Amino acid sequence: MLGRLLKFEFWKKWKSNRHLLLGYGLVELVLLLILKLFYQNSASTYIISTNSQRNAGVSFYLITALYFIMAGILFIYPFIEGISRYNKDLSGKQAALELMIPQPSWEKIASKLIATVCVTIICGIISAFTIVMFFFVLTNFNADIITSVFNASKKVFEYPAETIFSIINGLFSYASFYLLFFFCISISKWASHKNKIAVPISIGVFAATIAVITYLQSLADKFPIINYTFLGMSSSLSSVIVDIFVFALTFIGASYVMERKIEY
């Protein structure tokens, strides 16, 4: 059944955001075309390929900044959209449909979490692709730029263990942070569906939870059990245990509140 919930979550995200994604693609394409058509032979290409400080004009910098800001927004968008959707799923118009689904809440939370992490990865890849395309197009697919991007990507495959560890570590941290938001929203919606009341409660719970996590991490630092260094990062077994404990606690907490306390 988790599969069906996952499919539902992906489908909801696609249906409600496909126009935004299409809009993003179009805007980036137009910006890139403007840069390509109007700044191709100006100082811009020189700046990008040689990283010099030559003046290319304010409009070039503005369009470039807009291009990169858009790519950045696409990268963080799934996180914000996921939080907003969860909020609406618990107390918006469609909450009745969400709460009517005859599945345990932990499955609902897990499916939302997995779907958001996956969509973030997809959007991250699209963002990275957009940025790479910027350099490729504006340098007329300069051989040096292509080689440096290719070499950078090759490094990822040269150290598979480190790469996989970094990806897992990054995804886990992201999922934990995201779950923390779920937990805070669930608690606030338990107290009230009115945003005027729920939002301050959510912020309060967030601050309190961060304080508790910081305290637990400081305890972990005092009693490390085993210290180790991996990929140049120092950590300890206690710290890993705290991370897993916080993840489990926020997951169980959010599921419990959604199952037993949320009312629509």
Partner 1 sequence: MEILECKSVSKKYFTKKALSELDLTIEKGKIVGILGPNGSGKTTLLKLVAGLIRPTSGNIKVCGNEIGHKTKELIAYLPDSDFLYPWMKIEDAKNVYMSFFKDFNTEKFHEMLEFMKLDEEMAVKGLSKGMQEKLALALTLSREAKLIILDEPLNGVDPVAREQILKAILKGFSYESSMIITSHLINEVESLLDQVYFLKEGKIEFSGNTEDIRSEKKMTLDELYREVFAC
Residue closer to partner 1, measured from CB, 163 or 192: 192
CB of 102 to partner 1, least distance (A): 4
DSSP 134-159: HHHHHTTS-HHHHHHHHHHHHHHHHS
Number of residues that bind partner 1 (CB under 8 A): 23
CB of 263 to partner 1, least distance (A): 4
The residue within the footprint of partner 1, chosen from 4, 54, 155, 194 (CB under 8 A), is: 4
101 binds partner 1 (CB under 8 A): yes
Extract the tokens encoding 218: 């400081």
103 binds partner 1 (CB under 8 A): yes
Residue closer to partner 1, measured from CB, 65 or 101: 101
Interatomic CA distance for residues 37 and 229, integer angstroms: 50
CB of 95 to partner 1, least distance (A): 8
Residue closer to partner 1, measured from CB, 22 or 211: 22
CB of 99 to partner 1, least distance (A): 5
Extract the tokens encoding 143: 């051989």
Residue closer to partner 1, measured from CB, 54 or 88: 88
15 binds partner 1 (CB under 8 A): yes
190 binds partner 1 (CB under 8 A): no
The residue within the footprint of partner 1, chosen from 41, 51, 58, 96 (CB under 8 A), is: 96
The residue within the footprint of partner 1, chosen from 37, 41, 53, 102 (CB under 8 A), is: 102
For residue 183, with 0-12 CB atoms within 10 Å meaning exposed, 13-18 middle and 19 or more buried, which class applies? buried
The single residue listed with the structure tokens 């995200």 is 13
The residue within the footprint of partner 1, chosen from 45, 91, 105, 116 (CB under 8 A), is: 105
What does R_g of the chain's alpha carbons equal in angstroms? 22
The single residue listed with the structure tokens 């779907």 is 115
Where b means 16+ CB within 10 Å and e means fewer, 84-110 reads ebbbebbbbeebeebbeeeeebbbbbb
Residue closer to partner 1, measured from CB, 93 or 154: 93
Q: Which DSSP state fits 42?
A: S
154 binds partner 1 (CB under 8 A): no
Q: Which stretch binds partner 1 (CB under 8 A): 42-50, 58-66, 102-110, 167-175?
A: 102-110
Q: Which stretch binds partner 1 (CB under 8 A): 9-17, 154-162, 196-204, 226-234?
A: 9-17
Extract the tokens encoding 198: 């729920």
CB 8 within 8 A of CB 111: yes
CB of 255 to partner 1, least distance (A): 11
For residue 158, with 0-12 CB atoms within 10 Å meaning exposed, 13-18 middle and 19 or more buried, which class applies? exposed
Extract the tokens encoding 18: 């496909």
Closest CA relative to residue 186, chosen from 104, 78, 97, 86: 86
Closest CA relative to residue 50, chosen from 173, 135, 116, 151: 135
**Residues near partner 1 (CB under 8 A):** 4, 7-8, 12, 15-16, 93-97, 99-105, 259-261, 263-264
